[in-house]
Amino acid sequence: MIRIIRNTITAVLILLSLSCGHTNASSDLADRHQFFKKSVSKPIKFDLDKIKSRGTLRAIVFEGPTSYFLYKGQAMGFEYELLKHFATYLNVDLKIIVAKNFDELGELLNSGAGDLIAHGFTVTLDRQKSFMFSDYLYLTKQVLVQRKPKNWRAMKLHEIDKELKHDPIHLIGDTVTIRDHSSYKMRLENVMNEIGGLIHMNIVDSSISTDELIHMVHKGDIKYTIADNTIANVFSYHFKDLHVSTPISFSQRASWVLRRNTPELKSALDAWITQMKKRTDYYVIYNRYFKNRSSILRHVESDYYFNRTGEISPYDDLIKKYAENLPWDWLLLASQVYQESRFDPEAKSWARAHGLMQIMPSTAEELGITNTANPEESLRGGTSYLLDLWNEWQSIPDVKERIKFTLASYNAGLYHIKDAVSLTRQLGGNPKLWDDHVEQAVLKLTLKKYYTRPEIKYGYVQGTEPVNYVKDILKRHRLYQSFFEETI
Evaluate whether 383 touches 330 at the Cβ level (below 8 Å): no
Interhelix angle 78-90/263-276, rounded to 10 degrees, is 110
| Amino acid letter for position 467 | V
- State the Cα–Cα distance between residues 93 and 84, nearest whole angstrom: 9
3-state secondary structure the chain: CEEEEECCCCCCCCCCCCCCCCCCCCCCHHHHHHHHHCCCCCCCCCCHHHHHHHCEEEEEECCECCCEEEECCEEECHHHHHHHHHHHHHCCEEEEEECCCHHHHHHHHHCCCCCEEEEEEECCCCHHHCCEECCCCEEECEEEEEECCCCHHHCCHHHHHHHCCCCHHHHCCCEEEEECCCHHHHHHHHHHHHHCCCCEEEEECCCCCHHHHHHHHHHCCCCEEEEEHHHHHHHHHHCCCEEEEEECCCCEEEEEEECCCCHHHHHHHHHHHHHHCCCHHHHHHHHHHHHCHHHHHHHHHCCCEHHHHCCCCCCHHHHHHHHCCCCCCHHHHHHHHHHHHCCCCCCECCCCCECCCCECHHHHHHHCCCCCCCHHHHHHHHHHHHHHHHHHCCCCCCHHHHHHHHHHHHHHCHHHHHHHHHHHHHCCCCCCCHHHHHHHHHHHCCCHHHHCCCCCCCCCCCCHHHHHHHHHHHHHHHHHHHHHCCCC
Question: Does 159 participate in catalysis according to the annotation?
Answer: no
| Amino acid letter for position 454 | P
Catalytic residue among 340, 377, 401, 439: 340
- State the Cα–Cα distance between residues 258 and 127, nearest whole angstrom: 11
Catalytic residues, by residue number, are 340
